[in-house]
C-alpha cells in the first residue's frame, strides 16, 4: 500500500445517502468542522447543483479538496447511487470547483472509520456485553438500516485500522421460525428474491408490515415507513407493532451473522436513521436474542457488544479523522482518488 498523499485543507466532507446528503468543511487539522444544511437528494438534479447552492453559498471558505462517502459501490469514473438518481463524476467536480483532490469512499466504510473515535456518549448499548479491556483493537462492524441497508467492517492489522466495504445488505435472507414461514409468501420481492434489504431498511419495514397484515387478513392502511415505526412504537396498530418487533429480530440475526463472518470481538454498531427511533424495541430483548442464537457459537456471540450509534453525524467523525490523519487508516485509494490533469491518486 502506497503512502498517502495528504489532501489539502479546507476539505469538503460529505455523507451522501439515498435520501439525504450532509456536507461540512474541515478547515485544518485542528479546527472544528463547519456543518452545512442537510440536503434532500430529490431536491437537486445532481451533486454539483447541491454543492453550488449549499456548500459554496453557505461556506465561509471554498474547499480545496473533497472526501465524500457515497451510498453505493465505487468502481468506475462514474459512480451511481444505489437508492438515488445522483451520479458522481470526480473529474467533473475537480473541473467545476477547482479542487486539487477528490477521494470517494463507501458510506459505511466511512462510518466504520468513526468507530475508534466514538465516545461512550455516542453509543446506546444493546444488551449487557461490553468490549473487553484486552480487545481495544478488536474487529468491529458497522451496520445500518436507512433508505437502504449498509455494512462495513474495521480490522486492525499492522498498526493501522483497515476498513472493509461490503454490500452485505444484498445477501440472501431466509425464514427461520414458523412466523417467518407464514410471512415469506406475502413479501414483495423487488429483485425476485428476499435479501436482507428486502426487510431491514425503511421500505423493508413497510414491506414487513404489509406481509404481516396480509398473513393475518388485516387491513394495512399505513403506506409510509415512518408511519409504521411511529404507530408500532405507539402500540396503536397491531401489524405495525409486530413489524417493528420482527424488524428488530431480523436486524439482530444479520448483525450476528456479520459478527461471526468478521469475528467482530470489538463489537457491532448500528447506525442509520431507523435504529435510534426504535431504540426501546431494539433494547427490549428480541434483537439481542436473535444476535446470540448462533449455535454452536452462542457463547462467542454473548461476549460481543452491540450498540446503537446515537451521534447525529457519525460518518463525519470517520471522514474527518481520515482527512486529518490518513496514515492512521489503511484505506486503499487506487481507483478512488482523483487529481487534476488526469492524474490518478492512491
Q: What confidence score (pLDDT) does residue 1 get?
A: 45
Superfamily of domain covering 11-107+314-338: ATPase, nucleotide binding domain (3.30.420.40)
CA-angle at 204, arms to 200 and 206, nearest 5°: 135
pLDDT one-digit tens code per residue, 278-298 = 999 999 999 999 999 999 999
Is residue 4 pLDDT above 60, yes or no?
no
For the domain bounded by 119-309, which CATH number is listed?
Answer: 3.40.367.20
Residue 54, all three cell numbers: 449549499
Mean pLDDT of the chain: 91
Work out the number of other CB atoms within 10 angstroms of the CB of residue 203.
17
Give the whole-angstrom CA distance, residue 245 versus residue 237: 12
Domain ranges of the chain: 11-107+314-338, 119-309
How far apart CA 199 and CA 39 sit, in angstroms, is 26
pLDDT band at 273 (very low <50, low <70, confident <90, very high): confident
Question: What average pLDDT does the segment 234-245 reach?
Answer: 97
| Half-sphere exposure (Cβ direction) of 316: Cα atoms closer than 13 Å | 16
Find out whether 313 and 22 touch, Cβ atoms under 8 Å: yes
Amino acid at each position: 500500500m502506497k503512502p498517502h498523499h495528504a489532501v489539502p485543507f479546507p476539505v469538503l466532507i460529505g455523507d451522501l445517502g439515498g435520501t439525504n446528503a450532509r456536507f461540512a468543511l474541515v478547515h485544518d487539522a485542528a479546527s472544528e468542522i463547519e456543518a452545512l444544511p442537510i440536503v434532500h437528494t430529490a431536491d437537486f438534479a445532481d451533486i454539483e447543483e447541491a454543492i453550488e447552492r449549499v456548500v459554496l453559498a453557505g461556506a465561509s471558505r471554498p474547499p480545496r479538496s473533497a472526501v465524500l462517502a457515497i451510498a453505493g459501490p465505487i468502481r468506475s469514473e462514474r459512480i451511481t447511487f444505489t437508492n438515488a438518481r445522483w451520479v458522481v463524476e470526480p473529474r467533473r467536480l475537480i473541473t467545476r470547483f477547482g479542487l486539487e483532490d477528490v477521494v470517494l469512499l463507501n458510506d459505511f466504510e466511512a462510518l466504520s472509520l468513526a468507530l475508534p473515535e466514538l465516545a461512550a456518549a455516542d453509543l446506546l448499548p444493546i444488551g449487557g456485553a461490553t468490549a473487553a479491556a484486552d480487545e481495544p483493537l478488536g474487529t468491529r462492524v458497522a451496520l445500518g438500516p436507512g433508505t437502504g441497508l449498509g455494512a462495513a467492517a474495521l480490522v486492525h492489522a499492522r498498526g493501522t485500522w483497515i476498513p472493509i466495504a461490503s454490500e452485505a445488505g444484498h445477501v440472501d435472507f431466509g425464514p427461520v421460525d414458523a412466523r417467518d414461514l407464514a410471512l415469506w409468501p406475502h413479501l414483495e420481492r423487488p429483485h425476485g428474491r428476499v435479501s436482507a434489504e428486502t426487510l431491514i431498511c425503511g421500505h423493508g419495514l413497510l414491506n414487513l408490515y404489509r406481509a404481516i397484515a396480509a398473513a393475518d387478513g388485516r387491513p394495512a392502511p399505513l403506506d409510509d415507513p415512518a408511519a409504521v415505526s411511529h404507530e408500532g412504537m405507539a402500540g396503536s396498530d397491531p401489524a405495525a407493532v409486530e413489524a417493528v418487533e420482527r424488524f428488530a429480530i431480523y436486524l439482530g440475526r444479520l448483525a450476528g451473522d456479520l459478527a461471526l463472518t468478521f469475528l467482530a470481538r470489538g463489537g457491532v454498531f448500528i447506525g442509520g436513521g431507523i435504529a435510534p427511533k426504535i431504540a426501546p424495541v431494539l433494547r427490549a430483548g428480541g434483537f439481542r436474542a436473535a444476535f446470540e442464537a448462533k449455535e454452536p457459537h452462542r457463547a462467542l456471540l454473548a461476549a460481543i457488544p452491540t450498540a446503537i450509534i446515537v451521534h447525529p453525524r457519525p460518518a463525519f467523525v470517520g471522514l474527518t479523522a481520515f482527512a486529518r490523519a490518513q496514515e492512521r487508516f489503511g484505506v486503499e485509494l487506487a481507483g478512488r482518488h482523483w487529481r487534476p490533469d488526469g492524474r490518478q491518486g492512491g
